[in-house]
Chain A
Amino acid sequence: MRHEKIKLVLVLITLLLAGISPNLYPIAQAGIAKLSFLAVSFLIPSVALILLLIFITRALKYTSLSKQILVGLIAGLLATVGLEVIREIGFRSGAMPGDMPKLLGVLLLDRFAHGPNFWSNVSGWAYHFWNGAAFGIIFSLVFAHAQRWVAVVYGIIIGIVFMIGPATTTLGIGVFGLEFKDGYQFLTTVTLAHIVFGIVLGWSFDKLSKHESYPNILRRLKNAMTVSKRNEPLN
């Protein structure tokens, strides 16, 4: 019965690790530390530990939890493909001030002065997709079994947080990108891209789950607490 508690702890660790990646770029843009340093110190270890956790949950025979993390990860990657399609169209039509994955790449490899090259682009794209995967994992563990529209709201919230943080303001376009061009291009592209992210995330999570009912974080918490109460001594 203590398995429920172990599972809850594993879920909380996974959530903590998944939350690292999306926060690194805003932290770097806030001037706290270089992205190249944060990548080596936090990003790579967090990715390695999440993959390790998938194997650990499998080894502990928590197959359902292992699948839940994996399904979230894959759904997040697929959702990022959807987001990228919109972002790329937006960038090519001049509705975005810059090519985000390329910028991430030069910051990751600390080669801004030289501009992007093949490996910086690969790194930038990989980081952007991993961010999507991380958001997928968080969605899977927190909102599993929720209605699809929840994924859309989730995507929009991610977009809003992105647009009000230093990740956007340091591009010189103001909060929500309102100082870029006519004020609506960036806002529209980012919002639309994150709506698509949410739609694809919800849809692919449903499809990949194959009607399996994964418990969300609240249900896991209830399960763990119920088990605790049952095991309490009567006096």
Chain B
Amino acid sequence: MKNRNFKLSAILFMAILLTGLTGFSEGVQAQNPKPVTIESSRDFDGTVDAIKKAVSNGDMMVLSELNQGQILSMTGLQLNAHSFFIGNPTVGKKAFSSDPSAGLVIPVRVNVYEKNGQTFVTYFKPSDLFSAYKSQQVKKIGKKMDGVLKMMMQKISK
């Protein structure tokens, strides 16, 4: 009798565990995206300016910026690094209407940094990140953003 109770408890426990694991991953699936890195033909400041212009030319907006280098100067670390958050209201409205949890990947983040005197631009391919969503609309936006970022990078790459 005791043994039977134990078996029942174990089965119940496994069932709860599996339900929890699958339940939490309902909308988003695990991915392993790799960053795209491009060497810029300009210096750091020139690249930052070029990205702003390219974003505008791509019918997108810089929604927010993080001057990582300047922020980290408060810790005594000296480096050039800048993050952009890129998107536009139309893309945002479509994505969020389709899946309100899209804020995890929207706006798209683009990072500029300097290493050994060279400036690099790096980002995760939006389609890779957005493919984690079940929504076809979100996936479609991801592919569109791929094109926008590719066009931008062509303007600043070597």
Q: At the interface, is chain A mostly helix, strand, loop or mixed? A: helix
Is A115 touching B76 in the complex (CB atoms < 8 A)? no
Instruction: Give bound CA distance, A13 to B104, whole Å.
Output: 48
Apart from A99-B75, A113-B64: 8 A-B pairs, beta carbons within 8 A? A92-B76, A98-B74, A99-B76, A102-B74, A103-B74, A114-B65, A114-B70, A115-B70
Q: Give the interface residue-count category, chain B.
A: 10 to 19
Is B73 touching A94 in the complex (CB atoms < 8 A)? no
Q: B residues 18-64 with Cβ under 8 Å of A?
A: 64
Q: How far is the CB of A107 from chain B (nearest CB, A)?
A: 11
Is A112 touching B71 in the complex (CB atoms < 8 A)? yes
Q: How far is the CB of A19 from chain B (nearest CB, A)?
A: 27
Residues of A within 8 A of B71 (CB): 106, 112-113, 115
Which residues of chain A have a CB within 8 Å of any CB of chain B? 91-92, 94, 97-99, 102-103, 106, 112-116
Instruction: Give bound CA distance, A92 to B70, whole Å.
Output: 17
Is A99 touching B74 in the complex (CB atoms < 8 A)? yes
Instruction: Give bound CA distance, A151 to B34, whole Å.
Output: 58
Q: Which of A91, A98, A113 meets B67, CB within 8 Å? A: A113
Residues of B within 8 A of A102 (CB): 73-74
Is A106 touching B65 in the complex (CB atoms < 8 A)? no
Is A115 touching B74 in the complex (CB atoms < 8 A)? yes
